[in-house]
């Protein structure tokens, strides 16, 4: 497994935030108001409103909404590190530690790779509120699934991109 370094460019091609936002618009991602806002050499950033769509009945950001933001970031980020003609990425495991509540404004998540392997990737997502306070830390393990090649029955069938 290759450990990602902050100075290393990890993307297979230059990621398009507008394409990611457009493709996500009609999915859970769009319903929650998640917007991709920044891409760097080794990170992907998105934000999500803390509003009636993402709060639980007590008025606080729902933990599941934070996990949805984290998985959205890692699914897109992992997929953008592989050649789409050769592989796709899907989530295998996710965990989250909810550190403090948020009740309004926006939360912003930043996904960075911990390890980028040929078959698995591990990503960390740090989610902060408008004041920069850390509200959640999540880790997601992604499976890198090869796309089938003609005549190779051992390859897993193609899975849709994030």
Taking CA 43 as the corner, what is the angle to CA 37 and CA 49, rounded to the nearest 5 degrees?
35
Q: Which two tokens stand for residue 137?
A: 């830390």
Q: What would the DSSP string read from start to end of 46-113? A: EEEE-STTTB-TTSSBPHHHHHHHHHHHHHHHHHTTS-TTTEEEEEEEEEEEE-S---SSEEEEEEEE
Dihedral sign (CA 65, 67, 70, 74): negative
| Residue 71 falls in the annotated catalytic set | yes
Check 71, 86, 124, 131 and give the catalytic one.
71
The DSSP bridge partners found for residue 87 are: 146
Instruction: Provide the Cα torsion 83, 127, 95, 36; round to 10°.
Output: -30
Catalytic residues: 71
């Amino acid at each position: 497994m290759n450990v990602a370094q902050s100075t290393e460019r990890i993307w297979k091609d230059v990621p398009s935030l507008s394409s990611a936002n457009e493709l996500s618009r009609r999915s859970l991602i769009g319903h929650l108001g998640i917007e991709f806002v920044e891409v760097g050499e080794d990170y992907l950033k998105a934000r999500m409103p803390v509003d009636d769509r993402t709060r639980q009945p007590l008025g606080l950001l729902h933990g599941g909404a934070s996990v949805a933001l984290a998985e959205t970031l890692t699914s897109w980020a992992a997929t953008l590190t592989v050649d789409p003609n050769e592989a796709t990425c899907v989530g295998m495991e996710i965990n989250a530690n909810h550190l403090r509540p948020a009740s309004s404004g926006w939360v912003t998540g930043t996904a960075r790779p911990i390890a980028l392997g040929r078959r698995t990737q591990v990503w960390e997502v740090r989610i902060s509120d408008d004041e920069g306070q850390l509200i959640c830390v999540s880790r997601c393990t992604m499976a890198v699934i090869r796309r089938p090649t003609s005549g190779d029955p051992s390859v897993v069938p193609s899975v849709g991109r994030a």
